[in-house]
Structures are given as structure tokens and as C-alpha cells.
Structure 1
Amino acid sequence: MRKNRVLLGGLALTLSVVLTACASANGKSSDSSSSSSTDKISLMQDTDLLSLDNSNYADLTMWNVLENSMEGLYRQDSSNKVAPGMAESVVKPTNNGKTYTFHLRPNAKWSNGDAVTATDFVKSWQRSVSAKSKSGYNYIFSGIKNADQISNGKMAPTQLGAKAVNAHTLQVNLEHPMPYFSKMMILPAFFPQDTKVVQKYGSKYGTNSNRVVSDGPFKVTGWTGTNDNWKLLRNPHYYDQKAVHLKEIDMQVVKDANTAHNLFAKGQLDDATISGVTAQGLQKNKDLRHVQKAGTYYVRLNNKAGKPFNNQKLRQAVSLAVDRNHLTKDVLADGSKPAYTYVAQGLATDPTTGKDFATEMTPTETHNVAKAKQLWSQGLKEANLKGTVNLTLVGDDDTVTKNVAQYLQGTLQQNLGNVKVNMQNLPTKTVSNKEAGGQFDFDQTLWLADFGDPENFFSILTKDNPQNYAHYEDPQFNAAMKDATTSNAANTGAYWKDMRTAQSRLNATMPVVPLYSMVESHLVNPKLKGIEYHPVGENDYTRAYLEK
């Protein structure tokens, strides 16, 4: 998922804000026990809640709310492994890896008492894969039989390869084996919807908390569709009552990192997300917790013919000129870690080696200014570029993105020579339009994993992917990805060899330059335990509790 940079980017802060943040950097804070009782906690979201309909909307706030109120076929456990959710067990595919048969829990119910049925999954998926879906996530169903044709408006949603065999048996048929299919089932995009409730409210489904019901541990209440605070109350019909300790989760929108810090210090938040200057000033706070996410911030180089970065050596030079340790330690200074591969660290373990995929695929050479200068000079000659090369670097207009852009501007102009980097920091919507239109030489962006497999990263760089804004086209990379999703999909050894080949090609051809890994900075009430901070997916508070 391409997340807006502003989700982590610090907002422009006044001097008083900076002083407030630095004043608490000594590790001392006021009482951070938010709740007056041990059965409720207070959390924040940094953007408005705009919908609860996962078929027609998708952003981080909505998914955070759904993650803690709804449940799909599977959920993630505390070890980040796929575990049974609405399905009784994690199933193995049949039909050479192309058919999954899920048996739903017979005692699973919605918060209004309705039974959770296979039809609730089928109808929900049909709404979400439809060409009329407004979530932008119908592509995630690709690989399920007929999904692509449905998303393109060439087939009716009822032709999707998902059917209710009976009330509690769901069968899914794929067009080809998908080794990562089970991991995808934790996504809110695949959550069920109570068919009766959807039929009752139609286009108004999910527009407020009264027009939706939940099958997870909590149900959403008090959201009018426009207000900035709401509650998650315990769902008395949830099948696993023993696993749930809280009775209530209060949520409020807090868009400013310094405000979040102040609310935490006053005991009004049990978990506050901070960023930017505020995070920099609180790195020694005793309640600070860094949460590694499977996301990579990177620079995308426009490979299109006629653009300077159509030349491979110029792309390689940019990567070697960047000192990622200096960037993360001295420029960001917020706990971020260097990234050397497009695939994020912590995303997936290569089962054939037992190693973290990103770690095992780290290039042997990551920073070499002398070699960068040499490659830059050679590339300019090959591309027949003379004099000073003017490059446009596009990025969002938040403070952190601007700081990184300034670093890149100075580093490249100093280390490469014969280049002038012009920064364009613009509103997110404008940036998105420029990216889609190819109106950039290079741009700053983030890819946050939807599911725990390298394919989720690589797929958007394949030749025909609509999000391949860099116009990257490498025959070896495309061949590896095609084999991985067809002939080698059911062969673990061959599949992961294809994944390694794909990352090796990116390391060599450098269409994207990884900069740093996504890290969330949380101030957490020390009494709050049991939070499941997943590298992939949203943070799970459904099993959390407050120590007495």
C-alpha cells in the first residue's frame, strides 16, 4: 500500500512546540496511566475516520479501526504468524495449490447476533472486487478466479471464484497457486460484511457506526460519520471471550505530534504516536517504543526514455552517493534505520535459508562516493548529457520529507558534480498526480507491505503494473516474477529463488533507491501490556490489558 508520507511526517512546529518536546527528553514524564479503571484504554489516530465500509474506502485510520473491531478468516498472533480467525483452522490448499476450503466457526456471530456465514464473505468480496468499488483495493483480489476481469468491468462480480458451499463452508478457487494467499487473508480488504446489514443500508453502509456491525472482539459506537472521537465496546457475541480483557477502547483523532505527547503526559492517552521534531526530542524518554514496520521509504527514479535516469549508471551513482547512516542518525534522528533493499526488513523470512529476506539480499556495497562519481561521469557520457544536469525531485510538503529532500539535494550536488537538484515539495494530491503522469525525474515515496511476502513489493515494478510510475522494464526481473506467480508458485525452493533473482536485479539496475525503513515512535503507558505491534498490518489492541 502506498501510504501518504504525512502519516509519519512531522508537521511544521513552532518554537514553543520544540521546547516542550525537548523538555521531556530526559526520560521523565508525568503520570502516563490514562485510564481510571483497568478495563479501558485511550488511543489516537492521526487522521480523520472517513468510512467503515472496506469495499468503498481504504486508508490507515479506517484499517486501524477495522483491525480492532472486525476479523477475517485469519488473524495474526503475537508471533506475527497466521492464526485461525473466523476460520476454524489454517487450511492447506488442494487442486495443486489452487483451491482453498475454509470451514467457519459455527458459533461465530456478528455484534447484532446474526450468524457469520460463508455468504457474508462471498458478498463482501464481490462488492470489493467490483469495478464500481471505490476503495482502490480491488486489485488485491488478483489471482482469485476471474478477479482481474471483474475489476476491469469485463465480468460480473458474481463470477468471482469464491462460493458458499453451505452456511459455514467457503471455497475459493485461484487461477494459479499463490504461496502468500494465507497471509493476505488478514487484510481488512478481505473482511466479511453482514449481508443483511449491507442490504438494509445500501450505499449508506458504513457511513456511521450505526450502519455497520462487527464480527470481531469489539464494535464501533459513537461515530457519526464526521466526529473526531468514538469508542470500541466489547462485542458480547465474539467467539473467544477469554482472550479479550478490555471492555472499552476510546479513540480520538490527534493530528499534531506535540499534542499527542502532551495528552500522553497528562494521562489522557495510553499509546501516543509521535513523529518529526517531537520524536527527535523524546528519544531518551523511558516510555518511548520504536515499532519496526515492513515499509521502505525510497527514491523512485524515472526510467522512461528521454529522462536522465533512463541510464543505469546514473541510477547506480545516486544510490552509492547516499550515506544512509548519516541520513537516519543525523538528519532524521527519530529512530529510523537505514534501508538497503527495496523489500523491507522484517517483512519475510526466506524459508530456504532461514534468514530475513532483506538482510540476506543486502548489496555488498552500499556507499562509495568515489565509485559514484565514476559511474556518474560514465553515465553522462553514455546518455550524451553535457554541462549541468537539472533534476526535479518531487515529494510531499511535510517537514520530514523536506528535510530528506534537502539532504539528497546537498549530497548529490556535492558528491556527483555537474548536477543541480530542484526540490518540489507539494500537497499529496498534487504529488500523486505528478507521479501518475510521469512528471518527475525522481520522487520520494513509501511502500508499506500489505502482506508478508516480497511479491507485494515487487509486483508494482513489473512491466504492466499500473503503479509502475518509474517505467521500469527489466526482462530478467519480469521473467522471475512471471515464473514465481505461475510455473514456480507451488515450488517453495524455485519460488524463493525467483524472489532472490528479482531483488538481485533491483540491486543491480537500481530503479528505486532505498533510503530508510519505516519506524513508528510510540509513547506507551508502562502498565499497558499485550499489544501486538505487527511489522505487517495494523497494530492489534484486541488482546491488550492494563496491569493493576
Structure 2
Amino acid sequence: MNIKIRNSLFINTIVIALLLVLSACSNSSKSTTTSTKKVLNWMQTSEITTLDPSLPMDTASESQIIDSNEGLFRYGNKNKLEKGLAKTETVSKNGLTRTYTLRKSKWSNGQSVTAKDFVYGWKRTVDPKTGSQYSYLFSGVKNADAIMAGKKDYDSLGVKSIGKYKFVVHFDKRVPYFDQLLTKPYFFPENEKAVKKYGSKYGTSSKYVLSNGPYNLVNWNSGKNSWKLEKNKYYW
């Protein structure tokens, strides 16, 4: 083949390749600038049964409560345990007292999440009248076993608030894996006013709960197999 023709074909090939690259970059830039709203659709293995943090017994309910709420610790990137609403954690030398200083955060109605919300939520979960099937996870927290056995009142649980943002937990025995447990919904804060306001409806609909996590769960009622998660504007 003539050398000039070969060179011409080579140059044309390079030009076409460059044009394709530039076109792809242009389309990518265009899609980035014009797309302002991103929606993720996904499937769940089952429907939600409750949004009450004290009561979930299935993975669908638990995962949606975790998406719309937050406790003292959470799992972050690469499933690494990290602080959620706990700004700091102090453990006593004997391991029987843990003190958490809370971040300043809010419920989805704009009210502050306080140490009292943790005290109330934990006491409510271990109270046999609530009927939590996972209250046994509190075993080790002072008086939890006696409360669950009906031998002591739930108010004797070893938790207390100091001021607005300090939460203290006392233990009967060491629980080395306690921070991992705190990622579960049963250890999340609960707004006492909301629980008492909604009564038996609490957790049966997205209208009858408050969120304090990165998303608000909306458009769900008991028995409905679809719902939405929307950004919580109050999330810290």
C-alpha cells in the first residue's frame, strides 16, 4: 500500500477516535449538569410490619427504621463502626459505667433530640408491657434482667440524663460488645410526647412516628407494600 495512503488512513483513524472521546465527554457533562434530581428504586424482601423502634422483628422493618433514625453508634463505609449521635464516649476503669455526650440534633418536627429521649426509649423497650421481643439485648444494663422478669419496675433501669446532652449507662456486668448493640433500633431514642400522642397508632404509619436519621420515611401505612425515603432537612 502507498505510504501516503497508509499515513492518511492512520491519521483519519486517530481523528475519529478523538471525536468519539470528545462526544462521550460532552454527553457525560450534559447528563451531569442537567440531572438535578436523583431517584433510587430498590426491592425489599418483605413489607414493613412496624416503625416502632422497640418492636421490629423482621429485617425489612429494622432496615427502614435504621434508615430513618439514628442511635449513639452506626455502621459507616465498609461496615465500619462509627459514632452517630454520640459525640464522645467515656468508659469507667471497671467497665460498669459509660457516659455519652450527644451531638446537637433534631427530630423531623424540629424538636431537639436529648438524653431524656434515650432514657425514655430504653426504659420503654425493656418494659414488659411494651412487648419487645428483643429486650433481652439490654441484659447487662443495671436491673434490666430483673425488669424483664417482672421483679423490678422499668424506672429502675440503670440509665439517666445529666443536663440536655449527657447520657449515662450503668451496668451489672461488663458488656464488651455494647457499642455494636447500639446500632440496633431497640437502643434508639424515642420522643415521649409523640409516643403518648399517637398511643396505639404509634409506629403503624409514617404519619405516626418521628424520625431523627438522614431520611424521613413517608407514604407508608400498615399493610402497604410501598413507601418512600426522603431527605430529612433536620439531620445533623
| 2:97 matches 1:117 | no
1:195-234 → structure 2 map (5 Å cutoff): 195-234=192-231
Which of structures 1 and 2 has the larger relative contact order (alpha carbons within 8 angstroms, sep 6+)? 2
Structure 1 partner of 2:58: 59
Structure 1 partner of 2:149: 152
187, 192, 197: which one aligns with 2:189: 192
| 2:139 matches 1:142 | yes
Residue deviations 1:244-301 (CA, integer Å, cap 9, x gap): xxxxxxxxxxxxxxxxxxxxxxxxxxxxxxxxxxxxxxxxxxxxxxxxxxxxxxxxxx
1:83 to partner: Cα distance: 1.1
Partners of 1:175 and 1:67 in 2: CA distance: 28
Residue deviations 1:222-251 (CA, integer Å, cap 9, x gap): 012221111111100000xxxxxxxxxxxx
Q: 1:155 to 1:193 in 2, by over 3 A?
A: same
Residue deviations 1:26-60 (CA, integer Å, cap 9, x gap): xxxxxxxxxx8652211221112111012233211
| 2:231 matches 1:237 | no
1:493-512 → structure 2 map (5 Å cutoff): none
1:306-345 → structure 2 map (5 Å cutoff): none
Partners of 1:202 and 1:55 in 2: CA distance: 14
Partners of 1:81 and 1:172 in 2: CA distance: 23
Paired residue secondary structure (1:88): strand
Partners of 1:116 and 1:185 in 2: CA distance: 16
RMSD (CA atoms): 1.4
Q: Higher mean Cα deviation, 50-59 or 222-231?
A: 50-59
Residue deviations 1:414-442 (CA, integer Å, cap 9, x gap): xxxxxxxxxxxxxxxxxxxxxxxxxxxxx
Asked whether the 8 Å contact 1:57–1:134 carries over to 2, the reply is no
TM value normalised by structure 1: 0.36
Paired residue secondary structure (1:45): coil
Runs of 4+ more than 6 Å apart: none
166, 170, 178: which one aligns with 1:169: 166
Asked whether the 8 Å contact 2:55–2:186 carries over to 1, the reply is no
Asked whether the 8 Å contact 1:119–1:167 carries over to 2, the reply is yes
Q: Which amino acid aligns with 1:236?
A: K
1:49-128 → structure 2 map (5 Å cutoff): 49-89=48-88, 91-106=89-104, 108-128=105-125
Partners of 2:192 and 2:207 in 1: CA distance: 15
Paired residue secondary structure (2:161): strand
Q: 1:119 to 1:209 in 2, by over 3 A?
A: same
Q: 5+ unaligned residues in a row in structure 1: which ranges?
A: 1-35, 240-548
Partners of 1:133 and 1:37 in 2: CA distance: 44
Higher strand share: 1
Partners of 2:166 and 2:138 in 1: CA distance: 19
Partners of 1:154 and 1:56 in 2: CA distance: 22
Paired residue secondary structure (1:135): coil
Asked whether the 8 Å contact 1:54–1:135 carries over to 2, the reply is no
Q: Which amino acid aligns with 1:58?
A: M
Aligned length: 202
Higher helix share: 2
Partners of 2:117 and 2:233 in 1: CA distance: 20
Asked whether the 8 Å contact 2:119–2:159 carries over to 1, the reply is yes
Percent identity of equivalent pairs: 41
1:95 to partner: Cα distance: 4.5
Which protein is bigger by CA-based radius of gyration? Answer: 2
Partners of 1:135 and 1:62 in 2: CA distance: 14
Q: 1:95 to 1:196 in 2, by over 3 A?
A: farther
Asked whether the 8 Å contact 2:126–2:132 carries over to 1, the reply is no
Partners of 2:132 and 2:145 in 1: CA distance: 15
1:176 to partner: Cα distance: 1.2
Asked whether the 8 Å contact 1:73–1:186 carries over to 2, the reply is yes
1:113 to partner: Cα distance: 0.3
Partners of 2:145 and 2:164 in 1: CA distance: 27
1:129 to partner: Cα distance: 0.8
Asked whether the 8 Å contact 2:90–2:100 carries over to 1, the reply is no
Partners of 2:76 and 2:225 in 1: CA distance: 30
